[in-house]
Amino acid sequence: MISAVVGLSAVTVEGVAAQDFDAVLAAPDDTDLNLDFARRAADAGDLNGAAGALERVLIADPNRHSARLMYAVILYRLDDLQGARDQLDLLEPATLTPLQRAEATRYRARIERSRSSTRFSGSLSAALTYEDDAAGALTTQFDSIFAPPVSEAGGAAVFTARFNVAQDLDGAYAAFASIGGYDRSTLDDIDGDVRRGDVEAGLSYVRRLNSWKVSAVARVLDLLDDPYMREVGVKAQARWRTSNATTLSVSGEAVSQTFDEPGVDALALIIGGDRDGWRYDFNVGMTHRLDARSSVGVSAGWQDKQADYEPFGYSGPGVQARYDTTTRRGQYLAISGGIQWLDYDAPDPVFIGFGAPAREDVRSWARVAVGAPISAFTAAGATGDWRQDVGIEGALTYGARDSLAPLADYDSWGAELRLTWRFGAAN
């Protein structure tokens, strides 16, 4: 649960059992029993049940300020912004702890941002990375076929930025736009600089149990300080919350890719084409909350890359999985990984060699990260200010590409240290 519940004793959450609800019905005026039930219900995702229990507590004890603050947060999560604001108004003359006052102020600001028809949010991050095969990792990501680099360790400074804006329309609809950037500058002699940028704009629909969005996207990628690829297309995503714990999702993307590869382009008229063509992605996934602070997610998908020069085209399935767990202070552990199997459309006599079979790749990756907001390192574990929005993270990474000979296999272990600031309506 979020830090606004500071002042209520911690409990171990294993769901809201039926006998708990029966006990509450048998003793509706027992404030401690109702508080315990409210905590369990909120942690289990039963926000309506938690709100009902907190209402009973406040009827019996209107000066239970910690319970009223928790009630305001629950109403905010239920999207009852006016109700949440009314509860915070009642807390204005009350004597609160410094942390409770900071949380009340923080949620009042959230409510004002949420009530606005125009919302802004975003994130900035800076990281130092190290890979024991930085050159091979670059090849793994961007499919170099000319003079594959030798294995070489190296580090890099990485900066990312994301800015979002949403404008409410009628009902649950909103128009949105997002712009992002990524810059990786090597700190060693390895020529591995990468820069990416993207723009997305579209329409979204959000309700508590389901949502969807459709958008147009454009992306640019510069590799080794030269233009490399441009993408333009459309994407769509839909989510359904089937229970308090489980959400299903489906997504798809279709983009036209244009590559700037002078060596390939010089031969295009002779070999009948280049790497340009459409790329299609389709994924289905599920996330499931194991308990109040832990969740797992799995997804499976199919990718199809078309190319004017048929041997550059490929298709195949992929799977991904993720596990996340957090503490009350906000410290977290995130484990993720995936694997993709790609079969190329035809043998490549030009760039791989006559007689070589059609290329087959197995690409895999994994990441283990631990992190926390800066507020987690204070005595109370929460601050109610900017320190809850700034986090530090350390991670171990792995990436690999296994290909049929004569293409070289690559794999690289790495480490990251990252500082991230999230701001705006999303907080």
Q: How far apart are the first and last CA of the chain?
A: 15
Shared domain for 265 and 384, answered yes or no, is yes
Cα 66 to Cα 171: distance, rounded to the nearest angstrom: 33
**Does the pLDDT at position 305 exceed 90?**
yes
C-alpha 404 chain-centroid distance = 33
Whether 255 and 276 map to the same domain: the answer is: yes
Separation CA 191–CA 50 (nearest Å): 56
Residue 319 has pLDDT above 50, yes or no: yes
Residue 297, φ and ψ in degrees, nearest 5: -145, 145
In the chain, the percentage of residues whose pLDDT exceeds 70 is 87
Whether 155 and 88 share a structural domain? no
Q: What is the pLDDT of residue 6?
A: 39
The answer to whether residue 5 scores a pLDDT higher than 60 is no
- % of the chain exceeding 90 in pLDDT: 46
Residue 218, both tokens = 């454009």
For residue 379, the model assigns a pLDDT of 84
Check pLDDT > 70 for residue 171. Answer: yes
pLDDT of residue 95: 83
Tell me the helix, strand and coil percentages in the chain, rounded to 5: 25, 45, 30
Spatial distance between the Cα atoms of 368 and 376, rounded to a whole number of angstroms: 20
> Which has the minimum average pLDDT: 31-40, 271-280, 325-334?
31-40
CB-count burial class (<10 Å; 0-12, 13-18, 19+) for 355? exposed
Q: How confident is the prediction for the chain on average, in pLDDT?
A: 85
Among 115, 146, 181, residue at a domain's last position: 115
Q: Distance (Å, rounded) from C-alpha 68 to C-alpha 87? A: 7
Question: Are residue 110 and residue 122 in the same domain, yes or no?
Answer: no
Read off the pLDDT of each residue in 359-372 and give the average, rounded to a whole number.
95
Asked whether the beta carbons of 87 and 100 are under 8 A apart, the reply is no
Q: Is the pLDDT of residue 402 over 60?
A: yes
The DSSP output letter for 12 is: -
Both 175 and 59 in one domain: the answer is no
Question: What is the identity of the amino acid at 231?
Answer: E
Residues 93 and 126 in one domain: no
CA distance 214 to 198: 16
Domain co-membership, 195 together with 65: no
For the cut 70, the answer to whether the pLDDT of residue 370 exceeds it is: yes
Total tally of structural domains belonging to the chain: 2
pLDDT exceeds cutoff 80 at 122: yes
Q: How high is the pLDDT of residue 149?
A: 57
pLDDT digits (tens, 9 = 90+) for 221-268: 998 888 999 999 999 999 999 987 899 999 999 999 999 988 888 888
In three-state secondary structure terms, 227 is strand
pLDDT band, residue 1 (cuts 50/70/90) = very low
Question: Closest Cα to residue 369, out of 339, 338, 337?
Answer: 337
Q: What is the predicted pLDDT for the residue at 4?
A: 42
Task: Show which of 53, 87, 115 is a domain's final residue.
Answer: 115
Which pLDDT does position 142 carry in this prediction?
Answer: 62
CATH of the domain at 294: 2.40.160.40
Count of alpha carbons within 13 angstroms of residue 227, beta-carbon side: 10
Please give the structure tokens belonging to residue 127.
Answer: 């990281």
Q: Average pLDDT for residues 326-344, to the nearest whole number?
A: 94
Same domain, 8 and 131: no
Among the listed ranges 29-33, 282-286, 357-361, which one has the minimum average pLDDT value?
29-33
Measure the CA–CA gap between 338 and 36, rounded to whole angstroms.
39
Q: Considering only CA atoms, which of 79, 13, 49, 70 is closest in space to residue 326?
A: 13
Radius of gyration of the chain from its Cα atoms, rounded to whole angstroms: 26
284 and 178 belong to one structural domain: yes
* Nearest alpha carbon to residue 87 among 74, 78, 98: 74
> Which structural domain, as residue segments, surrounds residue 302?
118-424
pLDDT-based confidence at residue 9 (cuts at 50, 70, 90): very low
CA atoms of 90 and 123, how far apart (whole Å): 33
Check: CB of residue 305 under 8 Å from CB of residue 313. Answer: yes
Band (150; pLDDT cuts 50, 70, 90): low
Examine the domain organization and report whether 122 and 78 are in the same domain.
Answer: no
The pLDDT value given to residue 11: 36
3-state secondary structure (DSSP) of residue 309: coil
DSSP state of 271: H
pLDDT tens track for 13-27:
344 444 455 555 555
pLDDT at 8: 42
Lowest mean pLDDT among 146-155, 306-315, 337-346: 146-155
How far is residue 193's CA from residue 138's CA, in Å, rounded to a whole number? Answer: 9
* CATH number, domain with residue 24: 1.25.40.10
pLDDT of residue 197: 97
Average pLDDT over residues 62-66: 86
Beta bridge partners of 219: 198, 231
What is the predicted pLDDT for the residue at 81?
A: 82
- Positions of E strands within 243-307: 246-259, 277-291, 294-305
Q: Is 111 found in the same domain as 129? A: no
81 and 191 within one domain: no
Is the pLDDT score of 10 beyond 50? no
* Final residue in a domain of this structure, among 115, 149, 167: 115
> What whole-number distance in Å separates Cα of residue 314 and Cα of residue 345?
5
Q: In the numeric block, which tokens belong to residue 137?
A: 């990792």
Q: What is the mean pLDDT of residues 151-162?
A: 90
Each residue's pLDDT tens digit, 180-210: 999 999 887 777 789 999 999 999 998 878 9
